[in-house]
């Protein structure tokens, strides 16, 4: 039995039909991923289910007592108050009263009369039972209970909004881009939570790894029609491609028939005197059908202008240490960034990824260590909050700054023609930015960014809200980009497909460099990060353990033999690693199947681990021999 059903839905904004005589249903326990191009109406569909938008026509049936909650697309940046109050507000009047009562009890001189009023509302709704749920969900998302909302970053605000949606334990949970602004640890927690969730889930996401893991049904929204695929994401991709192929063949046959009939109707006077009126009516019907056809939306056309190259050296970091008060960002970090490097910054929210970028760019001065910045750097920066966009101006004014002609790859182009490459029709290009969806805003920011000459590209969460087709094209673009690339992203598949190297922020200022993306980071390193957060004191005491075993002990025969063989073993490992790194550095390396590249990256990681162990063993044996001598 359906929890929720829409029948024969019609919904249009102006000339743009989002739902056209289509059906949709939700069953208990389903995890439905709604996929489709930006602007297709996915977020609008969720708002219809949440009763924020009404259909133009159609029938909606909801099972009695069904609770629906929706996580909005953007974090509550303008919200006021504290974490506890905002999360509790997801319970409505009862939650608000519970939050006010709790905050009142924390005051030195609480208002007893106000507390009595809040208590009456709480008891009326039997809301004391919700208190453990509020605290539990806040704790599971690692939120600070009474932190002011205005003090939180986008990632933490996203977690707060998620907690607010989850606290009521709805029968239908609507999630609009739930992984946006979340770090990899939170995404993994959310995946596990949703897989165990008892209610139905309907979500929109660009994160392909997230969709693969969570969804058990795919609903494709394409040109006003909702099409069900009763299985996972990979099978959906195969069936969708086949459906588009069949549609294309049908359209070709249709167009051929229409062309033949148009030739017939335009024959001479004799043909017109004897023509079949039924055939004329059929031709008119064909014309109307062709007029109503909604073609598949094209793909975005990305390109970068070639500019003068930067120096070979982009940045050199040697034993860099930097902190904010008692919060260490990096400790004794050394690295070399060369022209053409493609680097991902991976780590939890608030770990210092943006700070390290500013250190590399010379915007911050390191407290300790040495940083050398390269020459001739032209930097283009993609900001996850889209602060470069003026919400009140039109799309074309944001790109053209009031001009109709702009320079693209050294050639003048009309701004409307350029915006059509990014799927903005002339009518849409004249709309204010505030009317765009999140994905359209990201496309607009990319259009604005790609006009800038650059040889260093910094992308801070570029994948948020992009549809999957555009995301895959962006992957191809950054793979082919000839300059230096730094990506900050929690999209695991995007990072795995684009970068050569990752800086992993392990916690407590520890930053490790790995060849490859998320898949190259050993699981043991991911768990160390959590240990450091829980028990920093233990980590600080560990170095003392390494200095203890300095005793005068003679090497055994086996140890002497091992010490003699280690240099040759280290040399072989270094040669093997160098060969593997050459493969990974090839621009075509990440164009091959993911499984093939993963084998090479895994082998490289194992060889590097063996080299580290060999060096450690050699140093230990050398120390014993020197001590004996």
Taking the chain, what is the end-to-end CA distance rounded to the nearest angstrom? 82
With residue 337 as reference, give the H or E element that holds it: strand 327-338
Q: Torsion-angle region of residue 149: left (phi > 0), alpha (psi -120 to 50) or beta?
A: alpha
**pTM to 2 decimal places:** 0.62
Tokens describing residue 564: 């003699």
Q: Are 124 and 101 in contact (CB under 8 A)?
A: no
Q: Are 310 and 456 in contact (CB under 8 A)?
A: yes
| pLDDT per residue as tens digits for the range 451-481 | 878 888 888 888 777 777 778 778 877 887 8
Report mean pLDDT in 10-residue bins for the chain, 629 residues. Answer: 90 81 93 88 92 93 90 69 91 91 89 91 89 86 87 78 86 89 80 90 92 94 90 89 83 76 59 55 62 54 60 89 86 91 87 87 88 86 74 89 81 85 83 82 82 84 76 80 88 89 89 88 54 32 34 62 80 81 68 71 78 72 66
pLDDT in the model for residue 151:
82
313-324 β-sheet, strand order: 327-338, 313-324, 368-373
Q: Are 418 and 409 in contact (CB under 8 A)?
A: no
Tokens describing residue 469: 């087709």
pLDDT in the model for residue 30:
94
Q: Are 225 and 508 in contact (CB under 8 A)?
A: no
Task: Report residue 38: phi and psi, to 5°.
Answer: -60, 135
Q: Are 205 and 489 in contact (CB under 8 A)?
A: no
Q: Could you tell me which residues come within 8 angstroms of residue 478 by beta carbon, excluding any fewer than 6 positions away?
A: 342, 457, 459, 485, 487, 498
16-27 β-sheet, strand order: 16-27, 2-13, 57-62
Which of 19, 493, 22, 419 lies closest to 212 in space, CA to CA? 493
CB atoms within 10 A of CB 308: 8
Q: Torsion-angle region of residue 223: left (phi > 0), alpha (psi -120 to 50) or beta?
A: left
Task: Please name every residue paired with 336 in a beta bridge, in sequence order, or none if there are none.
Answer: 316
Q: Using the 8-state DSSP alphabet, how is residue 245 labeled? A: H
């Amino acid at each position: 039995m359906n929890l929720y059903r829409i029948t024969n839905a019609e919904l249009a904004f102006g000339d743009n039909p989002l739902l056209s005589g289509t059906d949709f249903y939700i069953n208990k326990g389903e995890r439905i991923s709604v996929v489709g191009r930006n602007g297709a109406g996915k977020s609008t569909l969720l708002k219809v289910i949440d009763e924020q938008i009404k259909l133009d026509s159609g029938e909606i049936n909801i099972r009695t007592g069904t609770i629906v909650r929706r996580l909005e697309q953007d974090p509550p940046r303008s919200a006021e108050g504290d974490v506890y109050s905002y999360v509790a507000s997801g319970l409505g009047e009862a939650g608000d009263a519970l939050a006010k009562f709790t905050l009142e009890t924390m005051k030195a001189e609480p208002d007893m009369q106000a507390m009595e009023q809040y208590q009456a509302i709480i008891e009326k709704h039997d809301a004391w039972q919700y208190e453990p749920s509020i605290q539990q969900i806040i704790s599971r998302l690692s939120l600070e209970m009474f932190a002011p909302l205005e003090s939180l970053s986008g990632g933490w605000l996203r977690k707060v909004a998620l907690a607010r949606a989850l606290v009521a334990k709805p029968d239908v949970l609507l999630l609009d881009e739930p992984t946006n602004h979340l770090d990899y640890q939170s995404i993994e927690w959310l995946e596990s939570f949703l897989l165990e969730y008892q209610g139905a889930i309907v979500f929109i996401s660009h994160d392909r790894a997230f969709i693969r893991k969570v969804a058990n049904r795919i609903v494709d929204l394409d040109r006003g029609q909702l099409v069900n695929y009763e299985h996972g994401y990979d099978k959906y991709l195969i069936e969708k491609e086949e459906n588009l192929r069949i549609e294309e063949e049908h359209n070709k046959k249709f167009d051929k028939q229409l062309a033949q009939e148009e030739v017939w109707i335009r024959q001479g006077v004799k043909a017109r005197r004897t023509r079949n009126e039924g055939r004329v009516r059929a031709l008119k019907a064909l014309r109307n059908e062709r007029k109503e056809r909604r073609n598949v939306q094209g793909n975005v056309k990305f390109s970068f202008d070639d500019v003068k190259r930067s120096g070979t050296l982009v940045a050199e970091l040697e034993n860099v240490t930097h902190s904010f008060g008692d919060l260490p960002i990096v400790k004794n970090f050394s690295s070399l960034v060369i022209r053409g490097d493609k680097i991902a910054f991976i780590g939890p929210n608030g770990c210092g990824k943006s700070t390290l970028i500013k250190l590399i760019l010379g915007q911050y001065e390191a407290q300790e260590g040495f940083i050398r910045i390269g020459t001739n750097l032209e930097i283009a920066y993609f900001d996850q909050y889209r602060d470069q966009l003026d919400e009140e101006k039109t799309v074309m004014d944001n790109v053209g700054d009031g001009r109709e002609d702009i320079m693209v790859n050294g050639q003048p182009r009309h701004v409307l023609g350029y915006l059509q490459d990014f799927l903005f029709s002339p009518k849409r290009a004249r709309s204010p930015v505030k009317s765009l969806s999140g994905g359209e805003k990201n496309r607009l920011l990319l259009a604005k960014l790609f006009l800038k000459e650059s040889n260093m590209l910094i992308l801070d969460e570029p994948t948020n809200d992009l549809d999957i087709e555009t995301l895959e094209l962006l992957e191809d673009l950054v793979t082919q980009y000839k300059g230096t690339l730094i990506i900050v992203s929690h999209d695991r598949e995007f990072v795995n497909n684009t970068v050569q190297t990752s800086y992993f922020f392990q916690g407590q200022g520890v930053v490790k460099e790995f060849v490859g993306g998320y898949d190259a980071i050993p699981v043991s390193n991911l768990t160390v990060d959590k240990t450091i957060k829980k028990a920093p004191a233990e980590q600080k005491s560990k170095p003392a353990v390494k200095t203890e075993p300095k005793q005068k002990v003679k090497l055994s025969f086996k140890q002497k033999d091992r010490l003699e063989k280690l240099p040759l073993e280290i040399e072989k490992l270094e040669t093997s690693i160098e060969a593997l790194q050459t493969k990974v550095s090839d621009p075509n390396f990440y164009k091959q199947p993911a499984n093939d590249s993963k084998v090479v990256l895994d082998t490289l990681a194992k060889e590097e681990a063996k080299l580290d162990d060999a060096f450690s063993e050699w140093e230990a044996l050398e120390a014993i021999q020197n001590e004996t001598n």
